[in-house]
Chain A
């Protein structure tokens, strides 16, 4: 049976710029960096979880056509390609550290029933969240207001 997630890919528009960001600012480490000729296989991981890797993938031929790559790049830069959620021991401290490094935050740390989380973008437009898990607590009215669930508008899709 399938027993885990080992690698997933994020589309980046420049692998060196991606390294500056993910390794230089966020603190990931490079796990594999191999020039295979047809592609540069570049994976990173957090120091505490080396077997859970992210492939920093450059869209382009021969995997996908130039035309498809241009469309992928378009979607990345308008923020339309999904999100990655990271974990942290101290969301507010890490937020302060990363903000000082110039990371572009789209949401400051907020208290949630599952912990504290915040959101930022990588240099290309990818959406990244960072969550500090805490013990489960009761959902409060404030949580509900902040989440803004709205089934009457969301159910007609």
Chain B
């Protein structure tokens, strides 16, 4: 049914789905490459080829997207937000957040109206852009 490459695509998608679903878990490359059934080094390269950025960077953007939501729409302290989206270190969270969004979590707290469409679409379309900052490197 699949060519070898398509089969690999499908497994890579499975790993990316895991990031979207379990972003707050400690998802390391060993775990993700295990989901994709690909050796760790090859996994990172192919994930980047297919999705345009490394799995680590995709995970960071997913977590920061969730953090944005919590900052804007809850009263949770920044420390709790960091923990809720998968960061054990407040320093790492703050640096990553600022690198992606361009300002600190505290400066970010704004409000917005919800969009009445299924959550997956909102998540897809409101995730911080891959090229919107100098955060990390796509290639």
Q: Measuring CB to CB, which residues of chain A are less than 8 angstroms from any residue of chain B?
A: 13-14, 17, 73-74, 77-79, 83, 85, 104, 106-107, 110, 112-114, 117, 119, 121, 123-125, 127, 129, 131, 139, 141, 143-154, 156-157
Kindly report which residue of chain B lies nearest to residue A153, judged by CB atoms.
B128
A110-B112 in contact (CB<8A): no
B13-A77 in contact (CB<8A): yes
A125-B69 in contact (CB<8A): no
Q: Which of B64-80 contact A (CB under 8 A)?
A: 65-66, 68-70, 72-74
| Cβ 8 A contact of A78, one of B2, B21, B50, B129 | B50
A149 and B114 contact, Cβ closer than 8 Å, known pairs A110-B119, A119-B120, A144-B73: yes
**Interface range, B side:** 35 or more
- Measured CA separation A150–B16 after assembly (Å): 22
Which of B4-12, B36-44, B89-97 lies on the face that meets chain A? B4-12
B45 touches A (CB below 8 Å): no
What does DSSP make chain B's interface, helix, strand, loop or mixed? helix
Set of chain A residues within 8 Å of B7, measured between Cβ atoms: 77
Q: Measuring CB to CB, which residues of chain B are less than 8 angstroms from any residue of chain A?
A: 1-3, 5-7, 9-10, 12-14, 16-17, 20-21, 50-51, 65-66, 68-70, 72-74, 101, 110, 112-116, 118-123, 125-129, 132
Kindly report which residue of chain A lies nearest to residue B128, judged by CB atoms.
A153
Set of chain B residues within 8 Å of A141, measured between Cβ atoms: 73-74
> How near does chain A come to B9, taking the closest CB pair, in angstroms?
4
A153-B50 in contact (CB<8A): no
A139-B114 in contact (CB<8A): yes
- Measured CA separation A147–B9 after assembly (Å): 28
A77 and B10 contact, Cβ closer than 8 Å, known pairs A17-B1, A145-B73, A154-B125: yes
- Measured CA separation A145–B111 after assembly (Å): 11
Set of chain A residues within 8 Å of B132, measured between Cβ atoms: 153, 156
B16-A148 in contact (CB<8A): no
A14-B125 in contact (CB<8A): no
